[in-house]
Structure 1
Amino acid sequence: MRRSLIMSPFTLLLAILSAFLPFASALRYIESNSLNPCMTNSSFSATLFHVIFTPDNGTLSVSINGVSQISGYVKVELQVLGYGYSIYHDTIDPCSDSTLKGLCPMNTGQLNFPTNAQIPKDTVNKVPNAIYYIPDLDGRVRVWINSTEGVPLACVEAELGNGKTVYQKGVAWTVAVIAGLGLVISAITSGLGHSNTAAHVASNALSLFGFFQAQAFIGMTAVTTPPIVRMWTQNFQWSMGIIRVSFLQRMATWYQRATGGTPSRLLSTLATTSVQVQKRSLDVANFLAKRTNSQTTNAENLKTLSVKGIRRVGFVARIEPTNIFFTGYIFFIIFVLLVVLGVVAFKYICEALTKSGKMKQDKFQDFRNGWTLVLKGILFRIVLIGFPQMVVLCFWEMTIHDSAAEVVLAVSTILAMIAILGWAALKVWRIARRSIVMHKNPAYILYSDPKALNKWGFLYVQFKATMYYFIVPVLFYLLIKGMFIAFGQGSGTAQAVALLIIEAAMLIAVSVMRPYMDKKTNAFNIAIAALNFFNVVLLLFFSGIFGLPTLAVGIMGVLFFVVNAVFALVILLMVMWASVWAITSKNPDTRYQPMRDDRGSFIKSQTNLGTTELDALGATARGDKAGGAGFTERKRMDLDDEEDSFSSTSQVGQRGTGGWVPPRSPVEPPSAPMLRNDVNGAASPIFRSQSPAQAGGVAAPYRPGSGQNGAAAFRAQNNASPWQRGVGY
């Protein structure tokens, strides 16, 4: 009864996740495929071990090939453990048990022990039915072989499984597709002019992706976590590029050999290698160093290997330890190439549809005119998304040295990414500071200048305009967290303590400062930060620092899975709903409140912020020509060397007798009455009577001539913006 109460959370969880956890088999069974020593100088080892128990017909099948150094009569002490709790404990005399006749007496040398036994019905009924359905069962069978006097001669331990696991490729692909679609849909929505919706969808999708990477980080720690925690976090290792593809594994092995490395052969030696997942007493590096010096005797041919942390993640994904870095690196490069090809293909598809008349001329017109700048912004965003992945893999590669060339790749890649993101953050800071000096508002230039918005907006659109600098602590948080994962593989306790401090600091920062664009987005990210903190608290308990009973640790593992599965399902549904709304609604911006930093008025009024007729008349009076040397010189600003922060003369300002005159903010009406009204008080046809913020909408720009051709000619001549309504893509 007690056991059934302990297992009840699993029943609830299976009901919640039944829609996307397709457990493959309805057959009830318990099996084990590995036999590991549980004492030093054990006198028995196995090269083959397979036990399967099917309760429906009460059959126990045992196949053991091993090497014994024990001679004489023995007694077998059997203990069955579930989540550290002793379920069954008994001592058996092989001479009086027909199932174990082959061990009466035991002899030294090779031991072949195939047998089938029929288990009594009353014994089968003692096993709780939930045991056969709980995913990633934390069960073990420990067998002591003692002399007739009770002296321990050998101890072996087998892990039990029932074929049910929370690690499902369908789950991994589902969450990956939803996160990717969120980013794609936000880009499309931005191109359609719904900047507010695009910003919200992109922010939530990016936060969702960050949550997946945080889950993967937990699985990459060296802490010995319960099986259900290990397998749940394995669902998110795709976000770190840990994906097995056969030809990529062959290429990684070839590249390592070609550059002076020695590939490991763990997966190809499983017949003589008993793999223990995350047992503290053994180490992979020691095994790999010793296996070349192994003797040829049967007893010494069997090796016991422990995998933990990043190596454990690779082993579960069936990736050789020496191929993990290269696999993650290649998938990051593939991701970049696919995005570039996707953007280019989308551009030419739009052009083809426009020429064939199947799409209106004004659809994605700004994107088609300035797609190269948009592509730059997208590539910057990809660098930000891949930053946590490459921090972990690159710094870890520096500690293991798979080959000299791979170490060079790791060093150059991580330095380049840090430099790119650091430079981008510095640009945002300089642009925002200039906007504050010129307009008393950082949002003005950050959102009114389309070049700055499309190129650097990926760093600040998710934050309030006054919190443009919050990307710096976010980058620092990701860097420090990834470094502890990479460099702390030798000490799970150190990793757990460090992650607890890091996540606590992040939770306090987002809760107190509330840097995101609105209340809903703040709540979304605070919830993620709170769950990340909750996870590392449990990770600290898993590390064994408090010496908790194994049963308590097992229950905490179940709690970890239930809470994270429910939370992941909720935020996935939220992002899916926001994405569907953005695509299907005619005006999705109505779902979101206007931003308090008034960014919407700056973005939507960019057409009016372009060169006005007064600018054109002034240029004519000075003898300048659009696109001439003087015009280009006035466009250039001392803030940038490459003309990528401002794109129109009205934004940059004009040169007066006393130097550069700051441009007029769109929220300030012109100071001269004569520029607003004629002598009769009527509104001038050239100048708008009030700013976009005052009018509550977008003022119509002056269009010389009449009809669409005149408007298009005016815009083509005077509007230099490549994508006026971008939100950071």
Structure 2
Amino acid sequence: MRFLAARPLAAIASLAALASPVLAEPILSSNSLNTCQDNSGFRASLFNVVYTPNNNTANVDIVAVSSIQGSVIFDVAISAYGYEFIRQKVDPCKVGLAGLCPMTAGKIPLNFNLPVSADAARQIPGIAYSFPDLDAKVRVFINLTDGTNAGQSVACVEADISNGKTVDLLGVKWATALIAGLALTSSAFVSGLGHANAASHVAANALSLFGYFQAQAMLGLTAIPLPPVVMSWTQDFQWSVGIIRVEFMQDIFTWYQRATGGTPSTLFDSLTTVSVQVEKRAVDFADISMSLAKRSIAMMPRSVTEPVSVMTRSLAKRGNIQTGSGSFIVKGIQRVAFRAGIESTNLFMTSLIFFVILVIFTTLCVAAFKGLCELAVKRGWMKGDTFLDFRNGWFTVLKGILFRITLIGFPQMAILCLWEFTQNDSAAEMVLAVFFFFGMSITLGWAASKVILIARRSVVMHRNPAYILFSDPQALNKWGFLYVQFRASAYYFIVPFLIYILVKSMFIAFAQSAGTAQAVGFIIVEAAALIGASVLRPWMDKSTNTFNIAICVMNFLNSIFLLIFTEVFNQPALVTGVVGVVLWIANAAFALVLLIMLIVTTIIVFFRENPDGRYQSMMDDRTSFMKSQTHLTATTELDALAATARGAKAGLDLDDDADSISSESIRRNERAGAASVNSHYGNPPRSPIDPAMPLFPADGRSSPAPGYPRAYQDRAPSPFGNQGANLTPAFRAQNNSSPAGFRSASPWQRGAGYD
């Protein structure tokens, strides 16, 4: 290979890659020259090489320091995905390289264009220009050839290369975000039209898909060295945890941090003088210390060392790892921030502000939709009963939507708030981290406790948790986001789900210096999630269980891949590279299938005359307990009877926001509820309804309405289903005078104690 013999640096240039997808022409470039052994005598704090095969020219920009003196020989190795396909020794004296034969100590600033021979260009395979996120590198050992240390390696440098093709694409980010967002919005719209069963299925699948996207983002946030294709793939989903770069917002966050006593990171401002190495694999010299950096700086002239020392102290203070060559290594959360173009000190504020923007935007959209509905009804553009449930209780619906957004945003805020505790970027940001983490945790914990309280009361009073959970519209609209995706008997499953998110967040935030611990922790957590989902099968029906269990399986496989990437098994580098490609292909195919399923389901819901008919009735009979305001034709006295049958209490709402979450308040509420229910046994409410239309059978027994499904006839009766026995004789006499004997229950009465 004549090219390698003539120009060692050109060999690196010819196999380097530029990670810039906007350029259409084929290129190979590298932006960092890293040391690969301790006490390396040749270090480069800046190394940028771009090779363009169209004109066979390599542009080289290097700032390096050499402490080697004497005759040397270069041992060059070129590998891709861990497989070494070129290994050759080059003598600089034979090719007449000035300053390298023999090598002399000193600073080496270079910036020049280097012509590349046609023979050297033919050595590069064509696939190197097209395969995305190429995992290749050039490693050069510098060995002495004379003196007592002949044959000893005095320096080792390597350059990672890329071809500009990547799977980290803006189109993928927008497509996944829009599909997930539109599916959630569609479920709310369909629910407003009265198709609760179809809406709950679409919402459950959309939330599960969004959770899968966040799980992909969490893989990239771990401090485990990842192959390039895995880093790029996980970067596609960082939007799901609020990591989105907007230029003017970054300027505001930097100003805010300075104004509140913090010291912003300036890593991007230092790229002209310092290389940044994105950690891709575990290195043998993991214990790189600042002492090596100090020695490398000490060899520079004073005019160079003073600004570099200031910059080094600033970057090191922000937690960046500095190599002996003076370049910096970013990993884990900092790696994601660097690839997103965000300073690590701005990452927390970026995610926080996007969460706040989502909350504000959603609130404004719901309020605007309420106003538009009222205007449309007033102008006659829309029927008066369209979206009636939403228009009558839009504020309660808004509360439920905000609670759902809190649940969606909990993973990102848990990770970055906990991480901020370890960073302490500024006093104000620490206060925000404490407020949002504990505020969201307490809010979701309180909501889960309300669901459990309501479900247990329903079990005690009706021997079925679904009675009150799905018949009380206020509880369903506000707290339903926690349990509608589960079957009624698994209402409690939101608690282990929240614990699952919290534990994963802790591993990511607190173990940024221990990648292996993160991998082991992920395996334990994902295995527990898979076992729990497979054994309990808590979701609403078979298809939803299959959808979510498949996601758990993929998350568990990804955790195993993470453990392989830590190289604890000492596997060949080729195995690590292949596993990275397998992870990308498997997850890309899986995500595509999930997206297609969600798109098809959502489209069918909109174009089917009866969307609810597409889904089988769930075993918990939730649809029979849901009441729709559009079917409600009785008076407020009937509402009182219905509330009594569901277990609600006069003067006390099961879902009262003013209720304290203390146990004393709960006991007080239960005593008040018992007193209210007992009062209805002896003193039935006076109704202005025509006695010719009785509420109960003439014989005082609770008989099903004609044509009522047999499944409902066989259900155990509610303790309040035989209230006719407690009515006064006069009222029963009026009922007996009815020619029909009784009237069939209206749709909202079925399953609420009237059947």
Question: Is 1:683 paired with 2:755?
Answer: no
Aligned partners of 2:594 and 2:218: how far apart in 1?
A: 19
Structure 1: gaps (5+ residues): 1-21, 620-625, 627-631, 701-729
Aligned partners of 2:264 and 2:737: how far apart in 1?
A: 86
The two structures have a TM-score, normalised by structure 2, of 0.80
Amino acid of the structure 2 residue aligned with 1:138: D
1:677–1:689 contact (8 Å) kept in structure 2: no
> What aligned pairs does 1:200-215 form with structure 2 within 5 A after superposition?
200-215=201-216
Residues 360 and 106 (structure 1), Cα distance of their counterparts in 2 relative to 1, 3 Å cut:
same
1:45–1:299 contact (8 Å) kept in structure 2: no
Aligned partners of 1:616 and 1:28: how far apart in 2?
A: 72
Using the TM superposition, give the Cα deviation of residue 418 of structure 1 relative to its aligned residue in structure 2, in angstroms: 1.1
Amino acid of the structure 1 residue aligned with 2:335: R
The Cα offsets for residues 550-589 of structure 1, whole Å up to 9 and x where unpaired, read as 1101000000000000001110111112222223333221
Amino acid of the structure 2 residue aligned with 1:271: T
From 131, 136, 141, the counterpart of 1:134: 131
Question: Is 1:274 paired with 2:297?
Answer: no
Using the TM superposition, give the Cα deviation of residue 236 of structure 1 relative to its aligned residue in structure 2, in angstroms: 0.7
1:284–1:305 contact (8 Å) kept in structure 2: no
**Which residue in the other structure is 2:690 paired with?**
none
Using the TM superposition, give the Cα deviation of residue 515 of structure 1 relative to its aligned residue in structure 2, in angstroms: 0.3
User: Equivalent residue of 2:587, what SS?
Assistant: helix
Aligned partners of 1:31 and 1:175: how far apart in 2?
A: 30
Which one is further off, 446-455 or 83-92?
83-92
Aligned partners of 2:605 and 2:654: how far apart in 1?
A: 39
Aligned partners of 1:223 and 1:138: how far apart in 2?
A: 16
Aligned partners of 2:64 and 2:615: how far apart in 1?
A: 67
Using the TM superposition, give the Cα deviation of residue 108 of structure 1 relative to its aligned residue in structure 2, in angstroms: 2.9
Residues 282 and 262 (structure 1), Cα distance of their counterparts in 2 relative to 1, 3 Å cut:
farther
**Which residue in the other structure is 1:106 paired with?**
103
Residues 63 and 656 (structure 1), Cα distance of their counterparts in 2 relative to 1, 3 Å cut:
closer
**Which residue in the other structure is 1:31 paired with?**
29
Using the TM superposition, give the Cα deviation of residue 317 of structure 1 relative to its aligned residue in structure 2, in angstroms: 0.6
Residues 255 and 59 (structure 1), Cα distance of their counterparts in 2 relative to 1, 3 Å cut:
closer
**Which residue in the other structure is 2:650 paired with?**
634
Residues 34 and 87 (structure 1), Cα distance of their counterparts in 2 relative to 1, 3 Å cut:
same
**Which residue in the other structure is 1:478 paired with?**
501
User: Equivalent residue of 1:103, what SS?
Assistant: coil
Question: Is 1:166 paired with 2:167?
Answer: yes
> What aligned pairs does 1:160-309 form with structure 2 within 5 A after superposition?
160-278=161-279, 296=302, 298=304, 301=308, 303-309=326-332
Aligned partners of 2:167 and 2:22: how far apart in 1?
A: 11
Residues 30 and 616 (structure 1), Cα distance of their counterparts in 2 relative to 1, 3 Å cut:
closer
Aligned partners of 1:244 and 1:618: how far apart in 2?
A: 55
The Cα offsets for residues 517-543 of structure 1, whole Å up to 9 and x where unpaired, read as 000000000000000000001111111
1:447–1:453 contact (8 Å) kept in structure 2: yes
**Which residue in the other structure is 1:575 paired with?**
598
CA RMSD of aligned residues (A): 3.7
The Cα offsets for residues 176-205 of structure 1, whole Å up to 9 and x where unpaired, read as 111111111110110011101110011011
**Which residue in the other structure is 1:64 paired with?**
62
Aligned partners of 1:24 and 1:683: how far apart in 2?
A: 78
Q: Which has the higher relative contact order, 1 or 2, with Cα contacts under 8 A spaced 6 or more apart?
A: 1
**Which residue in the other structure is 1:450 paired with?**
473
1:677–1:683 contact (8 Å) kept in structure 2: no
From 450, 453, 461, the counterpart of 1:438: 461
2:230–2:583 contact (8 Å) kept in structure 1: yes
From 406, 415, 421, the counterpart of 2:429: 406
Aligned partners of 2:359 and 2:116: how far apart in 1?
A: 58
Aligned partners of 1:535 and 1:344: how far apart in 2?
A: 41
1:449–1:651 contact (8 Å) kept in structure 2: no
Which one is further off, 60-69 or 393-402?
60-69
User: Equivalent residue of 1:244, what SS?
Assistant: coil
User: Equivalent residue of 1:520, what SS?
Assistant: helix
Residues 147 and 416 (structure 1), Cα distance of their counterparts in 2 relative to 1, 3 Å cut:
same
**Which residue in the other structure is 2:13 paired with?**
none
Amino acid of the structure 1 residue aligned with 2:523: L
1:481–1:502 contact (8 Å) kept in structure 2: yes
Aligned partners of 2:288 and 2:259: how far apart in 1?
A: 23
1:538–1:560 contact (8 Å) kept in structure 2: yes
1:33–1:51 contact (8 Å) kept in structure 2: yes
Which one is further off, 69-78 or 365-374?
69-78
**Which residue in the other structure is 2:679 paired with?**
655
**Which residue in the other structure is 2:38 paired with?**
40
Using the TM superposition, give the Cα deviation of residue 683 of structure 1 relative to its aligned residue in structure 2, in angstroms: 2.7
User: Equivalent residue of 1:329, what SS?
Assistant: helix
Question: Is 1:598 paired with 2:612?
Answer: no
Using the TM superposition, give the Cα deviation of residue 675 of structure 1 relative to its aligned residue in structure 2, in angstroms: 6.8
Residue correspondences, number: 659
> What aligned pairs does 1:296-335 form with structure 2 within 5 A after superposition?
296=302, 298=304, 301=308, 303-335=326-358
Question: Is 1:119 paired with 2:117?
Answer: yes
User: Equivalent residue of 2:175, what SS?
Assistant: helix
> What aligned pairs does 1:369-380 form with structure 2 within 5 A after superposition?
369-380=392-403
**Which residue in the other structure is 1:462 paired with?**
485
Residues 131 and 651 (structure 1), Cα distance of their counterparts in 2 relative to 1, 3 Å cut:
farther
User: Equivalent residue of 2:85, what SS?
Assistant: strand
User: Equivalent residue of 1:375, what SS?
Assistant: helix
Using the TM superposition, give the Cα deviation of residue 347 of structure 1 relative to its aligned residue in structure 2, in angstroms: 1.2
Aligned partners of 1:581 and 1:286: how far apart in 2?
A: 61
2:46–2:274 contact (8 Å) kept in structure 1: no
Aligned partners of 1:613 and 1:110: how far apart in 2?
A: 89
The Cα offsets for residues 6-39 of structure 1, whole Å up to 9 and x where unpaired, read as xxxxxxxxxxxxxxxx965553322112111222
User: Equivalent residue of 1:634, what SS?
Assistant: coil
Aligned partners of 2:520 and 2:102: how far apart in 1?
A: 51
Aligned partners of 2:449 and 2:276: how far apart in 1?
A: 48
Aligned partners of 1:676 and 1:131: how far apart in 2?
A: 92
Residues 468 and 435 (structure 1), Cα distance of their counterparts in 2 relative to 1, 3 Å cut:
same
Identical columns (%): 52
Structure 2: gaps (5+ residues): 1-19, 309-324, 661-665, 686-694, 697-701, 705-711, 726-730
Aligned partners of 2:390 and 2:571: how far apart in 1?
A: 58
